[in-house]
Structure 1
């Protein structure tokens, strides 16, 4: 659902806007970890999430390419991604039946195929014929994209296992900044001054969070 909703969002809003909304994932992750696992971060860590949220609110308010469907799809995708990270953290850290990164990726891949294959056949019955019409460049790009997705998931699991789900999402915001820059350079989508200021504030929140996590530890309720 995180991937599907993220793709839906990209049909209506530019990559830079989608990445800006995705920067709120740490806040979603902190809330979900609190509700499901009773994990309580220090007050300082929670406070560092406020600039991230404020920056995204400013970015949304100053976004010229605003679209309601894209906005809700992006936020729903972000919430699903946060929930996924928390659940992955549980599977990778539970002492009784801890999984390693490759094992988790293996089982997730099987579930993904079971869910997506019949869905694709139902919604896109002519998919195989359409793919045959595409050039070798398209197929090469599709294969390369799949390989990148594999390594992204694998490294995400490794980071989650050795740190935490919340740290993974905050580090992901650094990627978001790069995505915004590349998006603007490639697609030339308009970004307002307020939007850029919002991105900058969000980045500041990421930096302060990283410092706070180094000096504090979460506790259980």
Structure 2
């Protein structure tokens, strides 16, 4: 299969990978030249349009080049049968394995740090913006807000998978699998809607404290539905998780019973969804990565949420448009908030892909603590020492739970 590469300028760096002795078609700055084979000797020069040198290699290699007073440098990976375009006269020398490893490790570290920062920012951002809209701004329509999120997730998921090829598209293979995903989507809707409802009544700090009890509900549902028993040490670590929330509830100045119940229900639904996902999509033919699962769950969620919005939040579209006439910023808030909701899922997938499960757990626990601090600084909600001690105990229990799970595997 031919590869067509366009040379933007003589200084453009191009790496072409293909079958041995086949470069395919190369589009140079002026005209086209076809090369049918790569020389068996390295450092062979073809003068192609404006005398751009091409160096061919018959084995996979890594080369380092530098040139000029500014010490411009880069690392080039050349696959079997590939080629590299360099400005005329640039020297070429082999890079050592240590130098290659340090450069790759450095760039990978910065990339991972950037992903984690994006994940934190999007998670905390959508949480705080939900709180602002539903509580401070007075937009009291959590079901409609959730439907906006799911609509954005539907559109962006399709663009990311079908057009941008972030991950390969996986298809639904049977009617049974479709109904399984529908059930997961319904539970997912309940968890998100209830979580948004709770933000109307509870501060973000207390909402995060309750949300940290997800492992407790996961362990309960796993035992009820699969009869899977954990080690006694694992169950023992759940004691501080629950105790911490009890202490935090008693010391929460803004405690609201209905908000507390709804938030607990949202946390339980989130745990139930994760357990059911492991059960329903356990066979190799039915497993979907999180991005493809979102691609199918999000539009199903819109179908579930639309009638609920029309029935329970009557004339919400008209009210939103009326609000927009007085303050157009509400439209931008909703659009940005919805896009951010998708970005949460995208960055979560990428962080999961580029870090270990243990790292993800540690980052998740720290993320909740960061969200608590940021929300207190922004919304100035009153907190008590007892409440913060309770939340700290819950996070400590979650860390112990993660360690116990790791040891018993």
Structure number with higher strand proportion: 2
Matches for 1:1-221 after TM superposition, within 5 Å: 1-132=190-321, 133-134=323-324, 135-154=327-346, 159=352, 172-217=364-409
- SS of alignment partner, residue 242 of structure 2: helix
Larger radius of gyration: 2
- Cα deviation for residue 193 of structure 1 reads 1.0
TM-score, normalised by the number of residues in structure 1: 0.83
**Structure 1 residues 88, 139: CA separation in 2 closer, same or farther (over 3 Å shift)?**
farther
Task: Between 127-136 and 6-15, report the one with greater CA deviation.
Answer: 127-136
1:39-80 CA-partner distances (Å, limit 9, x unpaired): 222222222222221111110111111111111111111111
* 1:40 match: secondary structure: coil
Go from structure 1 to structure 2 and tell me whether the alpha carbon gap of 1:89 and 1:151 turns closer, same or farther (over 3 Å shift): farther
Change (3 A) 1:8 1:169: farther
Q: TM-score w.r.t. structure 2 length?
A: 0.47
2: CA distance, partners of 1:121 / 1:4: 15
SS at match of 2:286: coil
- Of the structure 1 ranges 128-137 and 186-195, higher mean CA displacement relative to structure 2 is found in 128-137
Residues in 1 aligned to 2:375 and 2:211: alpha-carbon distance in whole angstroms: 14
How far apart are residue 83 of structure 1 and its match? 0.6
Contact 1:92 1:101 in 2 (8 A): no
Q: How many residues are matched?
A: 214
Question: What are the Cα deviations for residues 108-155 of structure 1, in whole angstroms up to 9, with x where unaligned?
Answer: 112211111122223334322333342453323322222222233456
Range with greater deviation from structure 2 (76-85 or 208-217): 208-217
Query: Relative to structure 1, is the Cα distance of residues 207 and 189 closer, same or farther in structure 2, using a 3 angstrom cutoff?
Result: same
Higher-helix-fraction structure: 1
Offset from partner CA, 1:83-115 (integer Å, 9 cap, x none): 112122335543242222222112211221111
Superposition RMSD in Å: 2.8
More off after superposition, 200-209 vs 71-80: 200-209
* Structure 1 equivalent of residue 51 of structure 2: none
Between the aligned partners of 1:50 and 1:42, the Cα distance in structure 2 is 14
Q: Is the CA contact (8 Å cut-off) linking 1:54 and 1:201 kept in structure 2?
A: yes
SS at match of 1:39: coil
